[in-house]
């Protein structure tokens, strides 16, 4: 929806209230128009929040300021905020209302290391070597909270009944904060959870996400002078080499949907000292969790074999792992209807030039912004490459998820072009589209009990016989750095 039609809609909204309520399986349109008006009222605040978080650019578990500005905004709007939940100082839940239904809206706010960038379409670091919002999570958190605030106003006015919660979910890019929040039981009474994600296009999430396990393989050997008495040494770096070689041999014998990647984080310091310690950070993904479990079992054996070859000890430590996504057809239809109703933003010539310059600078076709809604398509049997801890939430509560265009079509993700567009009006427009869609969808879910029951029934059907188990170590999350 462009600015003019939105303006017309806001002017017409009071008239609509006088009209008979349309027969619909979802909430009457005027209620959703009110929700959109309440989001639009916050436009300046949401842009400010997203810009502050963009500027902080804090990585997972260190998003202190980012979490705080969101939590404070929620408090200023009348929410009760529980900070530092699930043993994570930057995780929080903001809640308003009482009783059922309980609708949760998730927001992320962590940045990615090393991709600092100014909000300009050519490569130029804001603070060289530092973090940047290359996944648009500054927009993610602000949009989701804006939608939660709109719903809160409607509960306060007596238009909707129940509880709205904003889940401030940290460290999506590293340990998966949502998984810790699930383990803490924070989602267990939620009727429906909503989330979106920034993207280079607008579509409901019929794609899903890959299941993943992230683990550290460590080798401990015995050091010695590499020239004087190497026969006394047992090289941890030899074991790391054998391990990565083993993985690369395995690569031919896994299903095409499997992804395995690693970085050798430590393997000695200087050539004349045989390293007694090596560490390989390894990730394994597949379309579904059982596929990951099968490959992970083989990779564990490879680590054992590599240690035998080099005569060293080995340990494999799971750090985290997220689930694939349970997608609900009824949820896709609902999101698609609302995205279609809200409509794609329109862009100025300056914004299109910004987009085309980013595309030119990254070797992409210069097609500008592609924010129009993709047609509703069936759920894919195998997701494209990528994982998210929203997948875990989708295993414990019916979860609705979509993508909103916040960056030019085709530009590399987790990279500087996304940092650039997340810090300017292209990102802001996508954020507002997402906030409006979340708010409209939440109104439907609040107001229509039959819809909630349909979502829950499909969720029950799709999780029948499946026991969800989290893949995180005991205790609070720790990121290994040295």
Binding site for Zn ion (CB under 5 A): 135
By beta-carbon proximity to Zn ion, the closer residue of 173 and 448 is 173
Among all residues, whose Cβ is closest to Zn ion?
Answer: 135
Residues 379, 382, 387, CA angle at the centre, nearest 5°? 100
Nearer to Zn ion, 74 or 135 (CB): 135
Q: How far is residue 343's CA from residue 437's CA, in Å, rounded to a whole number? A: 9
Contact 296, 262 (CB under 8 A): no
Q: How far is the CB of 316 from Zn ion (least distance, A)?
A: 27
Q: Work out how close the CB of 172 gets to Zn ion at its nearest, in angstroms, rounded to a whole number.
A: 6
**C-beta of 106: minimal distance to Zn ion in Å?**
12
The phi, psi pair for 315, rounded to 5°, reads -135, 145
Q: Which residue carries 């030019």 as its tokens?
A: 408
CB of 217 to Zn ion, least distance (A): 26
Measured over the CA atoms of residue 149, residue 169, residue 54 and residue 58, the dihedral's sign is: positive
Nearer to Zn ion (CB atom), residue 1 or residue 111: 111
The number of CA neighbours under 13 Å toward the Cβ of 146 is 32
Nearer to Zn ion, 86 or 135 (CB): 135
* Alpha helices by DSSP H, 77-184: 137-156, 177-183
In SS3 terms, 89-122 reads as CCCEEEEEECCCCEEEEEECCCEECCCCCCCCCC
* Cβ-contact 406, 420 below 8 angstroms: no
- In terms of CB distance, is 53 or 135 closer to Zn ion? 135
Nearer to Zn ion, 295 or 433 (CB): 433
Closest distance to Zn ion from the beta carbon of 135 (Å): 3
Q: Are 353 and 482 in contact (CB under 8 A)?
A: no
> Cβ–Cβ contacts within 10 Å for residue 158, how many?
7
How many helices (H) and strands (E) the chain has is answered by 14, 11
Q: Which is nearer to Zn ion, 191 or 199 (CB)?
A: 199
The least distance separating Zn ion from the CB of residue 109, rounded to whole angstroms, comes to 10
Give the C-alpha separation, 29 to 227, whole Å.
79
Q: What angle do CA 387, 376, 426 make, to 5 degrees?
A: 65
Six-digit token string for 177: 């904060």
Shortest distance, position 190 Cβ to Zn ion, whole Å: 21
The nearer residue to Zn ion, 135 or 439, going by C-beta atoms, is 135
Give CA–CA dist 36/62, Å, rounded.
Answer: 33
| Minimum CB–partner distance for residue 86 and Zn ion (Å) | 19
- Which residues lie closer than 8 Å to 45 by C-beta, 6 or more apart? 73, 146
In whole angstroms, how close is the CB of 133 to Zn ion at the nearest point? 9
Cβ burial 389-406 (10 Å sphere, 16+ → b, else e): bbbbbbbbbbbbbbbbbb
To the nearest whole angstrom, how small is the minimum distance from the Cβ of residue 404 to Zn ion? Answer: 12
For Zn ion, the closer CB: 109 or 219: 109
Query: Nearest approach, Cβ of 140 to Zn ion (angstroms)?
Result: 7
Q: Minimum Å distance from CB 137 to Zn ion?
A: 6
Nearer to Zn ion, 105 or 135 (CB): 135
Burial 50-88 (b: 16+ CB within 10 A, else e): bbbbbebbbbbbbbebbbbbbbebbeebebebebebbeb
Where does residue 114 fall: left (phi above 0), alpha (psi -120 to 50 degrees), or beta otherwise? left
Nearer to Zn ion, 135 or 373 (CB): 135
Distance, in Å, from the CA atom of 290 to the CA atom of 302, rounded to the nearest integer, reads 19
Q: For residues 173 and 351, which CB has a smaller minimum distance to Zn ion in the complex?
A: 173
């Amino acid at each position: 929806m462009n600015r003019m039609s939105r303006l017309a809609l806001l002017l017409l909204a009071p008239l609509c209230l006088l009209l008979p309520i349309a027969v619909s399986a979802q909430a009457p349109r005027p209620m959703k128009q009110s929700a959109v008006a309440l989001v639009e009222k916050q436009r300046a605040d949401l842009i400010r929040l997203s810009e502050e978080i963009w500027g902080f650019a804090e990585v997972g578990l260190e998003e202190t300021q980012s979490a705080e500005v969101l939590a404070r905004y929620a408090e200023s709007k009348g929410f009760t905020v529980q900070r530092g939940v699930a043993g994570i100082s930057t995780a929080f839940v903001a809640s308003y209302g009482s009783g059922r239904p309980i609708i949760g809206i998730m927001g992320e706010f962590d940045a990615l290391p090393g991709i600092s960038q100014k909000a300009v379409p050519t490569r130029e670091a804001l603070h060289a070597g530092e973090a940047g919002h290359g996944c648009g999570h500054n927009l993610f958190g602000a949009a989701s909270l804006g939608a939660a605030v709109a719903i809160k106003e409607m509960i306060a006015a007596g238009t909707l009944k129940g509880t709205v919660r904003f889940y401030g979910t940290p460290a999506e890019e590293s340990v998966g904060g949502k998984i810790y929040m699930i383990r803490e039981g924070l989602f267990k009474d939620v009727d429906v959870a909503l989330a979106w994600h920034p993207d280079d296009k607008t579509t409901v999430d019929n794609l899903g996400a890959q299941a993943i396990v992230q683990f550290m393989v460590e080798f401990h050997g015995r050091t010695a002078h590499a020239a004087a008495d190497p026969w006394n040494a047992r090289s941890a770096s030899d074991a790391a080499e054998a391990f990565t070689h083993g993985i690369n041999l395995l690569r031919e014998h896994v299903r095409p949907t499997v992804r395995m990647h690693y970085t050798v984080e430590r393997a000695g310091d200087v050539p004349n000292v045989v390293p007694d310690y090596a560490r390989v950070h390894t990730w394994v993904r597949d379309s579904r969790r059982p596929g990951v479990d099968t490959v992970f079992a083989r990779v564990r054996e490879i680590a054992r074999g590599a240690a035998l070859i080099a005569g060293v000890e080995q340990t494999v430590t799971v750090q985290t792992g997220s689930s694939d996504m349970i997608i609900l057809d009824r949820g896709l239809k609902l999101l698609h209807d609302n995205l279609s109703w809200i409509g794609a933003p329109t862009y100025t010539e300056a914004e299109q030039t910004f987009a085309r310059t980013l595309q030119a600078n990254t070797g992409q076709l210069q097609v500008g912004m592609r924010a129009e809604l993709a047609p509703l398509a069936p759920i894919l049997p195998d997701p494209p490459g990528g994982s998210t801890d929203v997948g875990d939430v989708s295993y414990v509560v019916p979860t609705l998820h979509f993508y909103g265009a916040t960056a030019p079509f085709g530009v590399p993700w987790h990279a500087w072009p996304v940092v650039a567009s997340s810090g300017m009006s292209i990102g802001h427009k996508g954020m507002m589209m997402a906030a409006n869609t979340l708010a409209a969808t939440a109104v439907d879910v609040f107001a229509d009990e039959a819809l909630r029951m349909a979502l829950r029934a499909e969720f029950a059907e799709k999780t029948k016989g499946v026991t969800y188990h989290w893949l995180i170590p005991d205790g609070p999350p720790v990121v290994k750095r040295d």
